Structure 1
Amino acid sequence: MPPDPPDSEQLVLAFLAEAGDEFVSGEAISDKLGLTRAAVWKHVEALRAHGYRVEAVPARGYRLAAVPDRLTALELRPLLDTHDLGQVLHSYEELGSTNDRARELAEEGAAHGEVVIAETQTAGRGRRGRAWISPPHRNLYFSAVLRPELPPSRAAELTLVASLAVCDALRSAGVAAGIKWPNDVLAGGRKIAGILTELAAEPEKVDWVVIGVGVNVNARAEDFPEELRGEATSVAIERGLPAPRALLAAACLGRLEAWLDAHAERGFAPIRDAWRERSVTLGREVLVRTDGRELAGRAEDIDDLGALLVRTPERVERILAGDVQLLRPR
C-alpha cells in the first residue's frame, strides 16, 4: 500500500482545524486554497462521510465540531509540526507488526522519517520476542524509519532518545510518566508504553534503524490479559477519561523528532541528562536478568553510551541489555 498523499481534502481539514471553534467562510477557504466554492463543499461532504462533524451556517461558513478517533493521514497531518517524521505516513487498519512493515520499507529504500501506523496488530512484538497486546482502535502502534549518521556502537542511544520522547508526550497528556531502563515507560509503577529498536548496519555505519512504539492510550483493564492487569496501565486509566489518540501520536512524533535533532546536533550528553531526570530506575534497588544470570544491586547511573551501571556488593556492573525489576521504592 502506498503512503497516503496530501490532497485538497486534507488541506480543507487542516484549515478548519486551525480555526478551532470559529466559523470559516467557504469564500475564505476557496481563496486560501485556490479551490472553487463547489470544490470546498464537495470536500466538506467527503469529510462528513469519513466521520467528521462539520457544521455549516449560512452567512457564517463551516466549523469543525468533532473528529473521528482514527489514525490516518487525514487525522494526523494537520496536527504534525515535524519536518521529517510522519510526513510520509503508511496507515493500516491491521498489520501483523508495524516494525515488520517498517523494516520491509527500510530495506526497499524508505526515506528517513517515514512512519508506519496501524489500528491493530495481530503479531505485535516487544523486547525479547514478547507479545505486545494490541486491541483495535484503542492504543497507538507505530514505527519510524530512521537513517542516522551513527556508528553501530552508538545505535543503542536511540532507544533512550525514543523513551524520552514518549515520556514527554505522555506528560504533556497529563500522565505522570517515568522511564524504566532501558525502554519501558511507566505510570503509577505500571507499564504504559514500550519501545522496540531494530537496525541494519555495516561495520562502520548504521544503514537504517526502526523505532517501534506502543502506547496504551484508551485501553481498559479488561483489554489486558488477566495476568497483566496488575502490571499494565493506560492513559485513560491514569487520567480517568479517554485521550485523543491522534493528538498523542502527533505529540510522540514531534517530541521524537526534537530529541533526535538534539542528539544529532549535540550528541548523547543532553539525552543522558534528560533521561536521568525522568528515570524511575536510578537510585533504586534492582534485580537484573542478563546473559543467563541474575544480579542484584543499586542502579546508580547510565554511562556515556546508555549502559546501566549497577553497584553490587562486589563491584559496579555495566549492563548493556537485560530485564530490570525494581525491588523497592526510593
Structure 2
Amino acid sequence: MRKEILNLLASRPGEFISGEAISRHLNITRAGVWKQIQSLKESGFEIESQTKSGYRLLKTPLSIEEWVLERGLNTKTLGRKIKCFEELTSTNNYAKELLHQGDADGTVILAKRQTAGRGRMQRAFASPAGGIWMTVVLKPRLSLTDASKLTLSTGVALAQACRRLYGLEVQIKWPNDLVYQGEKIAGILGEVVGEWNAVQTMILGVGINANLERKDLPSDFSATTLKELLGQPIDLNKLVIAFLEELETEVDSLEKGDSEGLRSRWMSYAAGIGKKVQIERAGELYTGILKGISVNGELILEENNQERLFTSGDVKLRSTEGYI
C-alpha cells in the first residue's frame, strides 16, 4: 500500500491528489489514507497536505528507500530485485542465506544498520545508521581467476560514481579501500560462494561512510565521511543508483574479456602510484616504489630494481612520504 500511494502521487508530479481519490484507488478509508501519509512523512518523504486539495509529493528522503531505488535505477540486471532492511547482522551473511532460496543474479541487499558487519580477514566493520551497507549478488560468466578481479571492478565503479556525483577526487587504495587524502571512505569485501572451477556466485559487500559523523567512526584508523567532505548530508539513494549503474558497466566489460581496460581504469584512480611505500606481509616488511597492479590484479612493488608481486591476502600498504 505504501508503494501504491507513492506511485499514485508520483504519477502526477506537482499536482494535488485528493484523499478521496486515493481512498477509492486503494479501497481504504480516508482515515487509512491519512495514516499512511503520516507514516511516509515520518520516513522522510516530504508530502504537502492541503485542505480540499489533498496531497502532493514534494521530495523523497535522503535515507535508503526501496521505492526510490526501484524508480531511479536504469540497470538491466543489478538491483532489479532489491531488499531493504532497518537492521541486519551482515548483508553478506543475508545474501548467503538467500542463495539457498535460489535468488537471481543482480539481487541487492541493503541495511540501514549492521550489528556484525565485517571486512577483510574477518575484521569488524562499524556500520551505524547513516552509512550505506549493501551486498550485490552476482552470477558472473567468468573463470575463478577473472572473478577475483570483481573487487577491482567494484572499486572503480564506486570511485566513478563519487567523482560523477560530487566531483571528489577519491582514490582507490589497493586492494579494496576508497580513500580521500589518505582517509578511508569505503571498503569492499568480495566472497566466492561454493567451490567450482568456474565461479557460479560471488557476493560483493560494500560499506560507505556516507551521512555519518566522524565520532561514529572507529578511532583506530584514519577515516572520513562524505557528509564531512561535502559539508552536508547526501542522498543515499542517488549514490546507490549511480554505483549500481557503474558496476553493471564494469561487470559487463570484464565478462567481455577487457581485463586490460579494467587495469587501466583502476590505475587512473589508484592512490600512491610512483610513491615509496612499505608493504607488510606475514610479519615481513618490504620497501619500494608502488608501480601499480598486474593484469591479474596483483600489486607491483619495485624493490632494488626488481619487481615483486603481492596478492591481496593480509597485506598492509602504507606510504613513507605522506598519505596514500
Asked if TM exceeds 0.5, the reply is yes
Structure 1 residue 81, shift from structure 2 partner: 1.4
Number of the residue aligned with 1:224: 217
Structure 1 residue 206, shift from structure 2 partner: 0.4
Report the secondary structure of 1:159's partner residue: helix
Aligned amino acid, residue 7 of structure 2? L
Partner Cα distance (2:187, 2:102) in 1? 26
Structure 1 residue 38, shift from structure 2 partner: 7.1
Establish whether residue 165 from structure 1 lines up as the match of residue 157 from structure 2.
yes
* Structure 1 segment 129-140 matched on structure 2, within 5 A: 129-136=122-129, 138-140=130-132
The answer to which of 169-178 and 110-119 deviates more is: 169-178
Structure 1 residue 284, shift from structure 2 partner: 1.9
Aligned amino acid, residue 234 of structure 2? A
Change (3 A) 1:300 1:43: farther
Number of the residue aligned with 2:321: 328
Aligned amino acid, residue 76 of structure 1? L
Aligned amino acid, residue 308 of structure 2? E
* Structure 1 segment 1-330 matched on structure 2, within 5 A: 8-9=4-5, 11-12=7-8, 14-15=10-11, 19=13, 22-23=14-15, 36=25, 46-51=36-41, 52-55=45-48, 63-136=56-129, 138-174=130-166, 175-228=168-221, 231-313=222-304, 315-321=306-312, 322-329=315-322
Q: Could you list the per-position Cα deviations for residues 246-294 of structure 1 after superposition, in whole angstroms to 9, with x for gaps in the alignment? A: 2112222121112112222342122111111111132222211224422
TM-score (norm 1): 0.85
Partner Cα distance (1:106, 1:57) in 2? 47
Partner Cα distance (2:177, 2:295) in 1? 20
> Which structure 1 residue ranges, 5 or more long, are not aligned?
none
Partner Cα distance (1:37, 1:146) in 2? 36
The answer to which of 103-112 and 160-169 deviates more is: 103-112
Structure 1 residue 200, shift from structure 2 partner: 2.5
Partner Cα distance (2:205, 2:16) in 1? 38
Change (3 A) 1:44 1:146: farther
Change (3 A) 1:135 1:318: same
The answer to which of 153-162 and 165-174 deviates more is: 165-174
What is the percentage of aligned positions where both structures have the same residue? 29
Q: Contact 1:10–1:78 (CA<8 Å) still a contact in 2?
A: no
The answer to which of 79-88 and 210-219 deviates more is: 79-88
Structure 1 residue 25, shift from structure 2 partner: 6.2
Structure 1 residue 323, shift from structure 2 partner: 2.3
Aligned amino acid, residue 197 of structure 2? E
Change (3 A) 1:314 1:270: closer
Aligned amino acid, residue 211 of structure 2? N
Q: Contact 1:44–1:54 (CA<8 Å) still a contact in 2?
A: no
Q: Contact 1:98–1:142 (CA<8 Å) still a contact in 2?
A: yes
Report the secondary structure of 2:250's partner residue: helix
TM-score (norm 2): 0.86
Structure 1 residue 218, shift from structure 2 partner: 1.1
Q: Could you list the per-position Cα deviations for residues 186-220 of structure 1 after superposition, in whole angstroms to 9, with x for gaps in the alignment? A: 01220000100001254421021000000000111
Report the secondary structure of 1:269's partner residue: helix
Report the secondary structure of 2:178's partner residue: strand
Q: Contact 2:185–2:226 (CA<8 Å) still a contact in 1?
A: yes
Change (3 A) 1:169 1:48: farther
Q: Contact 2:77–2:106 (CA<8 Å) still a contact in 1?
A: yes
> Which structure 2 residue ranges, 5 or more long, are not aligned?
none
Partner Cα distance (1:44, 1:13) in 2? 14
Q: Could you list the per-position Cα deviations for residues 7-57 of structure 1 after superposition, in whole angstroms to 9, with x for gaps in the alignment? A: 5345336546xx4xx33767xx99xxxx94978x87786354222222256
RMSD (Å) for aligned C-alpha atoms: 2.9
